[in-house]
Structure 1
């Protein structure tokens, strides 16, 4: 059979079967399915730590850190922990705390400690928790005491406040006791 014979046997009604048309509805359905899969993966794999509450701490009152004769420090700190969750997608989480501890230190020396009361930070909400840390005859060296008094007078003193919540969450806050307003806390999740 010659090639001309093959072409002669084809009629216009016998188009090759490989040519097919795709309906616009099918293309649209595929695009919607891909968009749903991408959005679902984003929600499932979005980093969870950005959805948990953030914390900050303010020092409301300080007593017992005044300059005086070298004697054991009996400092008292009135603190407020501020917890807030941001509105994010569907997986915004709140937390509840049953028990916790707080320790206030200066240059590595623990000045006071106390308990954190029970509280809950609701999803997409705020909570303010007041607590008191009490010192218990803490001995500071003359050098450290003098440095603390000097920094307090110049309003540059910084205290480290460490808070452990339910043995699962550790908050590390650096605050200036002589300034108003809360300072942000770093949050560490423990396994």
Structure 2
């Protein structure tokens, strides 16, 4: 007498198998294809109307580097070192900073060195500041030298180049974990000169 199969046995001999999983594989394939098509043809999220304005912040792909420029507001003590009444070189700068990042910029102060024809004339520091994302700011910076006047040869070169309108100070500045170099005309037209990464 044949025993009855009460489940858990081998598949039936007629070839039918209710647990082959074909339906699950078909559904998984359809879901994967649908997801792939949506991802392929859906436009970027930040290009959809209103997405950028949801929280008022700029999109991540709008992140740009920090840029800066320097304005020479005044210069003193550029006489030859042995001239009567010679004083230490001193420069009044205005540093303009543009935070292109999508996050706040924190600066703890940095060194400033002003040179002429490769000869350092004065040293100072930029102030500490915080600058909000995508914001701009400007700060006065006073830089002074240690000695009196400038060397005679350098003074003659500066006098000649000022006459020709090409006398340039080189300003090296540490700002927000980066080093910038700016060339500023001595006695030139007022205005800020763009800096470049050193």
Q: Same fold (TM over 0.5)?
A: yes
- Please state which band the TM-score falls in when normalised by the shorter chain: 0.5 to 0.7
Distance 2:89 2:70 in 1: 18
Give 1:176's aligned residue: 185
94, 114, 139: which is aligned to 1:80? 94
Residue 120 of structure 1: CA displacement?
A: 2.2
DSSP 3-state at the match of 2:74? strand
Q: TM-score, normalised by structure 1?
A: 0.66
Greater C-alpha Rg: 2
Could you tell me whether the CA contact under 8 Å between 1:73 and 1:136 is conserved in 2?
no
Deviation of the 1:92 alpha carbon: 2.4
Does 2:175 match 1:165?
yes
* SS state at 2:174 partner: strand
Map 1:10-159 onto structure 2 (within 5 A). Answer: 32-35=38-41, 51-66=64-79, 69-70=82-83, 74-86=88-100, 92-137=102-147, 140-159=150-169
Deviation at 1:81, TM superposition (A): 0.8
Task: State the alpha-carbon separation in 2 of the partners of residues 187 and 92 from structure 1.
Answer: 20
**Whole-Å Cα distance in 2 between the matches of residues 31 and 66 of structure 1?**
74
User: In the comparison of the two structures, how many residue pairs are matched?
Assistant: 153
Q: Deviations over 1:118-159 (max 9, x none)?
A: 112321111001110001116744322101122223332111
Deviates more, 1:172-181 or 1:54-63: 172-181
Q: State the Cα distance separating 1:175 from its structure 2 match.
A: 1.0
Cα RMSD over matched residues?
Answer: 3.3
TM-score, L = length of structure 2: 0.64
Q: Is the 8 A contact 2:180 2:195 kept in 1?
A: yes
CA gap of 1:121–1:155, structure 2 versus 1, over 3 A, is farther
2:4: which partner in 1?
none
Determine the structure 2 residue equivalent to 1:187.
197
CA distance in 2, matches of 1:97, 1:52: 14
Q: Can you give the 5+ residue segments of structure 2 that lack an aligned partner in the other structure?
A: 1-32, 47-58
Q: Which runs of 5+ in 1 are unaligned?
A: 1-26
